[in-house]
Structure 1
Amino acid sequence: MHIQEHIITNIPVFEIKDTFEKVLEFFQDTTYSHVAIVEDGRFLGVFSENDTAALLPSTEIEQFRYELEGFFVRRDTNWLDVLESFARNEANLLPILSEKEEVLGYYDLSDIVTVFIDTPFFTDPGSILVVATGINDYSFSEIAQIVESNNAKLIGGFITDTQNDVIQVTLKITTNNYNKVVQTFRRYNYHILFGNSDDQFLEDLKDRSDYLDKYLNV
């Protein structure tokens, strides 16, 4: 997947020798979280909009040299790593550096999310299934095997949460044999957190519960 076509080249970078006057204007005129700071054309770091609250326009950027954040991506960084960098740094703008540490441009978070949404995971027909298991038990190859052993196809999957030694994986699978896939995951001790297709297991429980209610009311 090529995301280089989304490189933005008309967003400014600022020299460390400058004052914050134009930086403050930039943040006032946009909704971006960060902007790149350079020294003699070479990347030094990014300055955060969160740090502008008490700044005067006449303040020199040089005074904040050691408070700049150092995150960036390269032109050949793949789109998943770009997304991860956005998330890890709580940013919506990422500078892209050349091998000479020059700023080639930026990625805008909304553009990269659009690329993600256009992947087959979202565009191809199928059903969403969210499963959870222990981190030490997690195996994506096992997940794929469970899906495919029931004559279904795994369209895509990714880790959507990790906490308290439990990993959550969101899957998209073809709709054929969906309920068999769900039941097999249960047999392998996966917790089913979400499914957007009718789950026969839950339907059976509901039917049995309804039957029991009727029996007790006789």
Structure 2
Amino acid sequence: MIARELISSVPALHPSDTGAKALRLMNEYHLTQLPMVVDSKYLALVEEDDIMDIEDLDVPLESMEYGGSRPAVMEYAHLFEALKLFYDFKLSALPVVTKESEYLGIITKDNLVTAFAAFNAVKEPGGIVAFEVEPRDFALSEIARIAESNDVTLLSVNTLSNPATGKMEVMLKTNRQELQGLLATFERFNYVIKYVFAEEPEEELLKKNYDLLMNYIGM
């Protein structure tokens, strides 16, 4: 997934626009930044806080002084590059430009979240398993083989290094809700399970409901 595929329909600002109009658009689209564009060129990223400092909101934005960085992402940049810029610059909106610095549109934070949800199969039914391993012991081929041996498909795999322990946390999104067999195999291979989000096997759920019924009858 590349940057140009995430562009939203939010309008850009122009130097002749007033501070009042800029604030209205930011409020309408739930953003704290909007790009200013001149002759299809990205000029500046206008901040809500800077506009609030203006004494007269009816004066055009061209009367403001703009300095500092102008964050933008190239149109064919990967989704991860956009995420890095959002994080580095604490953005709510990220301009997308061509090699010739032509402005194409913006990526909003909501667009980015939606893209990552799709990228990580968030909407797909299935359980989640997380475990810790030493970085030197992380082998995706082995993890995939264990999943395959239990007739489980991995829809997404994410890793996170824990600076406090030096270990790597691995989170798997699977296509199955019943994961008892998979968990047993992971534990047999000495993987330390941290947490699991999955449905209980049907027979265990029926037994639990039966026990609750018996307890109720015995009251």
TM range (shorter): 0.5 to 0.7
Instruction: Specify the alignment match of 1:114 in structure 2.
Output: 114
TM-score (normalizing by structure 2): 0.66
Which consecutive unaligned segments of at least 5 residues does structure 2 have?
205-219
Q: Distance in 1 between matches of 2:198 and 2:95?
A: 41
- Unaligned runs of at least 5 residues, structure 1: 204-218
**Residue aligning to 2:195:** 194
What's the counterpart of residue 102 of structure 1?
A: 102
| Distance of 1:61 and 1:133 partners within structure 2 | 56
Q: Deviations over 1:151-191 (max 9, x none)?
A: 42212222367442333332112338822322333344433
1:49, 1:166 → 2: CA distance? 40
Between 1:101-110 and 1:166-175, the stretch displaced more is 166-175
Cα distance in 2 for residues equivalent to 1:166 and 1:62 = 49
- In structure 2, the CA distance between the partners of 1:7 and 1:33, relative to structure 1 (3 Å rule), is same
Q: Is the 8 A contact 1:20 1:60 kept in 2?
A: no
The 1:50/1:133 distance shift into structure 2, 3 A limit, reads farther
CA distance in 2, matches of 1:37, 1:179: 54
Tell me the secondary structure at the aligned position of residue 64 of structure 1.
coil
Q: Equivalent residue for 1:63?
A: 65
Q: Choose 188-197 or 117-126, whichever is displaced more.
A: 117-126
Q: What is aligned with 1:144?
A: 144
Partner of 2:41: 42
Contact 1:135 1:166 in 2 (8 A): yes
Report SS of the residue matched to 2:195.
strand
- Which residue number in structure 1 is paired with residue 215 of structure 2? none
CA distance in 1, matches of 2:159, 2:63: 39
1:28-67: per-residue Cα shift (whole Å, max 9, x none)?
A: 544213222456653344243345453434586663312x
Stretches (4+) displaced over 6 A: none
Measure the CA separation in 2 of the matches of 1:169 and 1:61: 51
Residue 121 of structure 1, CA deviation: 1.8
Residue type of the alignment partner of 1:63: E
The aligned residue for residue 31 of structure 1 is 30
Which residue in the other structure is 1:170 paired with? 171
RMSD over aligned Cα, in angstroms? 3.8
Q: Is the 8 A contact 1:3 1:115 kept in 2?
A: no
- Percent of pairs with identical residues: 24
Q: Distance in 1 between matches of 2:123 and 2:27?
A: 36
CA contact (8 A) 1:35 1:46 kept: yes
2-side partners of 1:162 and 1:55: how far apart? 44
